[in-house]
């Protein structure tokens, strides 16, 4: 698939999280292979910071790949990523920034874990990190630009009974580590995941109202994709069960392979414009998310409260 948002033979840069494995890995390889002028900056952790650029370059034939090491559970690390990207843009060592693919996400087995900033880990990584990235980089995107944040249809209960439907609350509550025996359960950990993915849709709607013309924002739903290692934080029995069932689950009509989902994510980021800014991309086409996910009051409250949590003014443009 040809790169669409930019002009042919023009170098451009995309920033991507969650490119190390699964859907994101396939999407990164697809984008690099399809567009030799694309420069990809991947945010990675641990050994992946050193090895991922070379692996992506070898798989795609495109050597315009670099990595920035960061833990998205740390707001300081997120700010450091932005500082490094903007410094490279200002120095002219990196082509203009056109897009962000925010694919990184986690699912924990409780809501009791806190980040170094004191926030509940699932909400911190899946919502706050994305909020801070787009806020700090919003004025650096070159039109036609595109921001794609990975969501999930579990927000509407599609993962039941394994992943409970989202249960929204005020942002201060969602960002606070849970206490008590219920908070320590895997059920609440998985509910925190589906709730964070509802928060992603709210974030995208609020962002779409603030971005300048020519820069679009989308929430991408890959559907059920067995074998993506999302349950890596679960116990050994649960992990083993997911691995054993993955080949069978892939055969279900509403499931798909990681490679296919990765191709769809790549198309959402670099293919023809998939829909109006703010749209929910259900696999390969724009669709409707749950009725609950269309709530301007919650969307604006999320925007305002996240600004407070990360120490930014809420009333400035994105």
Contact (Cβ atoms closer than 8 angstroms) between residue 178 and residue 110: yes
CB atoms within 10 A of CB 155: 29
pLDDT in tens, 195-251: 999 999 999 999 999 999 999 999 999 999 886 555 556 556 554 554 555 454 554
Buried residues in 52-86 as b, exposed as e (16+ CB within 10 A): bbeebbeebebebbbbbbbbbbbbebbbebbebbb
Structure tokens at 108: 């924990």
Q: pLDDT tens digits for the chain (318 residues)?
A: 333 544 456 799 999 999 999 999 999 999 999 999 999 999 999 999 999 999 999 999 999 999 999 999 999 999 999 999 999 999 999 999 999 999 999 999 999 999 999 999 999 999 999 999 999 999 999 999 999 999 999 999 998 888 999 999 999 999 999 999 999 999 999 999 999 999 999 999 999 999 999 999 999 999 998 865 555 565 565 545 545 554 545 545 567 999 999 999 999 999 999 999 999 999 999 999 999 999 999 999 999 999 999 999 998 878
Decide if 7 is inside a domain.
no
Assess if residue 316 is contained within a domain.
Answer: no
Residue 21 lies in a domain: yes
Alpha helices of 232-315 — where are they, by DSSP H?
Answer: 236-249, 258-270, 296-310
Q: How many domains does the chain have?
A: 1
Would residue 305 count as lying in a domain?
Answer: yes
The sheet carrying 141-150 orders its strands as 65-69, 38-44, 12-17, 97-102, 141-150, 215-221, 280-282, 285-287
Q: Per the domain annotation, does 318 fall within a domain?
A: no
Query: Does 5 fall in a domain?
Result: no
| Position 104 in a domain | yes
Domain that holds residue 78: 12-310
- Which CATH number fits the domain that encloses residue 33? 3.40.50.720
Beta strands at 97-102 and 12-17: parallel, antiparallel or unpaired:
parallel
Q: Does residue 241 fall inside a structural domain?
A: yes
Give the other-Cβ count within 10 Å of 185's Cβ. 16
């Amino acid at each position: 698939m040809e790169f669409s948002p930019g002009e042919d033979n023009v170098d451009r840069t995309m920033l991507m999280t969650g490119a190390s494995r699964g859907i994101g890995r396939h999407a990164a390889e697809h984008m690099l292979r399809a567009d030799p002028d694309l420069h990809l900056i991947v945010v990675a952790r641990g050994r992946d910071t050193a090895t991922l650029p070379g692996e992506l370059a070898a798989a795609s034939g495109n050597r315009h790949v670099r990595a920035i090491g960061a833990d998205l559970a740390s707001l300081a690390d997120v700010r450091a990523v932005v500082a490094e990207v903007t410094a490279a843009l200002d120095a002219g060592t990196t082509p203009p920034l056109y897009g962000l693919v925010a694919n990184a996400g986690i699912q924990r087995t409780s809501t009791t874990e806190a980040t170094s900033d004191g926030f509940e880990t699932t909400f911190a990584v899946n919502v706050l990190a994305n909020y801070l990235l787009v806020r700090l980089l919003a004025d650096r995107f070159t039109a036609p630009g595109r921001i794609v944040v990975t969501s999930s249809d579990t927000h509407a209960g599609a993962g039941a009974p394994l992943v409970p439907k989202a249960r929204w609350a005020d942002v201060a509550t969602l960002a606070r580590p849970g206490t008590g025996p219920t908070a320590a359960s895997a059920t609440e950990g998985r509910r925190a995941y589906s709730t964070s993915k509802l928060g992603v849709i709210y974030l995208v709607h609020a962002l779409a109202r603030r971005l300048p013309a020519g820069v679009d924002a989308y929430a991408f739903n890959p559907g059920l994709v067995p074998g993506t290692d999302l349950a890596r934080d679960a116990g050994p029995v649960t992990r083993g069960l997911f691995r054993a069932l993955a080949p069978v689950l892939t055969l279900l009509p509403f499931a798909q392979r990681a490679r296919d989902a990765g191709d769809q994510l790549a198309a959402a980021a670099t293919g023809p414009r998939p829909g109006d800014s703010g749209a929910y991309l259900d696999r390969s086409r724009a669709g409707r998310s749950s009725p609950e996910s269309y709530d301007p009051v919650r969307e604006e409250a999320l925007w305002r409260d996240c600004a407070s949590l990360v120490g930014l003014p809420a009333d400035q443009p994105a």
